[in-house]
Structure 1
């Protein structure tokens, strides 16, 4: 008698969900995942990650995650690679300047240094390695300045300190532990509040919203973003361009948050961002730190379509966007990863590999540290037809994926 095939993790999730009498939408709400994510896990278009399994298990009556993954699956607790500079950044974040003496760096110098660091983040192909080398010194300099300056210079130094924490969060997002990411969010928010600067506070909320979303607290993220928009919107008409830039970015963050929660209302926020960028900013405007621009708005449209489970719409949007106009190497690499996700949803393995290869050529560290890219490479290298598998294995090995 032929041995009966073991059900896949997705099939196990579906069976347990049905046995519990739960719809996908109901389970999604309980587990803080999107209904689209659960649908794709069940039909095999998305792998069941350890984190998703932990979120689903209590609501499916599962006490042993082996009941979801089955006996043929090996679970690794080393879910993502760590960057070599993480420990140096950790030390800089957890060094308290109890006694501070000497002259602080001028706010003009710190602004130039901070702006230069953000420029490096957006233009380097190895942005995490370069920023990992810069961050400890930048954090130390801005922390000292915030302690030593007084009056308006101190508020400026605090706003720049908040920017340093935001850059640390961007660096740590894919390879730092969650507690360290929360530390950057909390420190950035505290510095922005002490700076008493609406733009600094709004940007701190933008970064906090990303972490809230990633921990299943999307409703809180949307509410915080709404509060930030209420803070910024009255200042757009008479303020500098940075206010319109910030308002658009808050809408883009809300759009992506809603999309990842399966909410079609994401398109209303996206349209608001598009209107602001086209009506309130010059056609060639590019935000120094945010990279808000006309091309970036279209990048978000592709991301929203992918997260809403609409690969046709994602491809339609992508075809209208010249990826070379995306004003950030890091964001361009992530854009190719998003397009690969869209191809992956349709089962187009050759196209998925082609797009991941383009992402690697654009920004190797984006592929090396992106959880989505690593997940796709793992499946391509182990499940794809032989005509694809060889190249997938080569790319996976180059990206440091353990097969």
Structure 2
């Protein structure tokens, strides 16, 4: 390797501080930014990177890994004897079948594609199953391969412009469902392939709802790639909101809901940047949009609704690292039942992060147990939840260590 090349933290035997610097730089973070997210100074970060301070305690290392969104704890520590997947979950048994369906085009397929109405009915059942099943990835993973192949075939066999646009809209939604399945699994390239194909299909469909949904998911994919990609997330998000804005004065519920979901996402990204005022301003705008929806309305893809705004408030507070405000938002949100099991589990995880920030680790663990009860597959693939559980397996309290260890076993982080 050239002496001028950047070391590879996944291959070279280098010190913890050097690994931290490389991973931080790859995420596009300055020392000030990383230190701020850790509640520390830039000089503290520099001292760690230069080896003037020793490797921090496990709870701090786990928080670093969370902030850097490393794929495996060993990538940061360099200890190859301890592999813990954090933000990349384990590969689902049905991932290979979904990969195969995404990667193959039906160029020589002779069978007749199902009509668009049939695809739409199957999609509706798939979304309903996702929201109601605790093992939602398993349920969706069974349905996706045939849905992907049939939707691709419907686009290829469309006879008219109108039929083709309708088929492209259905295909875009199939790719959106696929992105929910693929997220946090060990195939980042597949995630981006699905996201980009969904955006192309949505644009070809000229369907504002399909365009909004795919933009919502692409925004999340950019943001989850780290601070260096926040501008890209905003570019997709705000451009799509500008496209939808002329439709909103008398928009149907689904268009208003996707615009509201995108507005919240802008606030989410602002919170990740630490922009408190901007984050809450977008949340207020999204809440105003939710208030225009019927009281019992619940968007089948984004979960946007009146019911979800309390959960969104918890997320904003947590991303701003405001523990007390997170707990206050959680108390307000808890009176509302979220219909979707995976979304309910995700909300419980966000609440647990808030309780952890507020110095209430026992409540955080109890809340994570509720998340596991709602949807085990959601918490199993969530890096924040795994970080809290692993941290509490080292707690001084024997009772808390035992509860954390029991949950770690359920999540596959510790052997039974």
TM-score category of the 2 structures, normalised to the smaller one: 0.7 to 0.9
The counterpart of 1:48, out of the listed 56, 64, 78, is 64
Provide structure 1 residue ranges, at least 5 long, that are not aligned to the other structure. 1-11, 18-23, 56-64
Distance, in Å, in 2 between the alignment partners of 1:274 and 1:351 is 28
SS at match of 2:249: coil
TM-score (norm 1): 0.84
Matched, 1:386 2:398: yes
Distance, in Å, in 2 between the alignment partners of 1:261 and 1:75 is 31
Instruction: Pick closer, same or farther for the CA change 1:99–1:358 going to 2, 3 Å.
Output: same
- Corresponding residue of 1:330: 342
- Corresponding residue of 1:76: 83
Distance, in Å, in 2 between the alignment partners of 1:273 and 1:222 is 16
The equivalences for 1:3-402 within 5 A come to 29-30=29-30, 36-39=36-39, 44=59, 47-49=63-65, 52=68, 69=77, 75-76=82-83, 78-79=85-86, 80-151=89-160, 152-216=162-226, 217-264=229-276, 265-278=278-291, 280-322=292-334, 325-402=337-414
TM-score (norm 2): 0.82
Can you list the C-alpha shifts for 1:94-137, whole angstroms capped at 9, x where unaligned? Answer: 11212232321111111111111111111111111111111111
* Residue range with higher mean Cα deviation, 95-104 or 249-258: 95-104
Instruction: Pick closer, same or farther for the CA change 1:191–1:328 going to 2, 3 Å.
Output: same
Instruction: Pick closer, same or farther for the CA change 1:53–1:158 going to 2, 3 Å.
Output: closer
Provide structure 2 residue ranges, at least 5 long, that are not aligned to the other structure. 1-15, 46-55
Instruction: Give how far 1:78 is off.
Output: 5.0
Q: How many pairs were matched up? A: 371
CA RMSD of aligned residues (A): 2.8
Instruction: Give how far 1:215 is off.
Output: 1.0
